[in-house]
Structure 1
């Protein structure tokens, strides 16, 4: 049994969006890395707001599909990390990829979103 429920996952999603918006300034990332982080935050926010779980604004994306979308961002984050020239930027995107992979692997994607 996986410990992260759909509601918990939603909370993690919104917290991740806030982190991706705040971290670039706090970590003094390069302008390019900041922009990429903001783009990832925006895409995560859109998917989160439209996912079928209690914290959504409009429940349009099935929760298991949300998981597939999220999992697809891991290679994208790894690619972005590999393309960074600054060590700090690279470490940031590697950390994001690890966080997403961890949340994905601990989430119960088959759970009833309203349970």
Structure 2
């Protein structure tokens, strides 16, 4: 069941970006985890403003591609949690939970209700 509209997904993206940028201070992440989190926040911001949906400014990237990118990022974050960050419980839990959160949002978003492509 796809209960998240593209418009609400855009709101969630901006909230996730703010969470990413604040997470190193909130959770006390390691230097490596903090750097990755800041980079991920900036990349996610760029992806969001370039996506063709209500939250996008430049509307270059199709919403379906946005979703595919988020799916792969969520998988990579979960893998990193149990490989790169194994042994640092705070980093491990943060990346596992954040990856899972992105995966849940991906699974619940209706990517077919995107804006029409204007040629």
TM superposition score category, shorter chain reference: over 0.9
Deviating runs (4+, > 4 A) in structure 1? none
Deviations 1:54-102 (A, max 9, x none): 1111100011111011111022102221211310000000011110010
1:99 & 1:26 partners in 2: Cα distance?
17
1:41 & 1:24 partners in 2: Cα distance?
11
2:109 & 2:55 partners in 1: Cα distance?
16
What is the CA-CA distance between 1:2 and the residue it aligns to?
1.1
Which segment drifts farther, 79-88 or 41-50? 79-88
Compute the TM-score of the two structures, normalised by the length of structure 2: 0.90
1:112 & 1:76 partners in 2: Cα distance?
25
- SS at 1:48 equivalent: helix
1:22 & 1:103 partners in 2: Cα distance?
20
1:98 & 1:55 partners in 2: Cα distance?
22
2:80 & 2:34 partners in 1: Cα distance?
12
Cα root mean square deviation, aligned: 1.2
Compute the TM-score of the two structures, normalised by the length of structure 1: 0.93
- SS at 1:13 equivalent: helix
What is the CA-CA distance between 1:43 and the residue it aligns to?
1.1
- SS at 1:2 equivalent: coil
1:79 & 1:39 partners in 2: Cα distance?
17
Give the count of matched residue pairs. 114
Equivalence map 1:22-41=2 (5 Å): 22-41=22-41
> For structure 1, which runs of at least 5 residues remain unmatched after alignment?
none
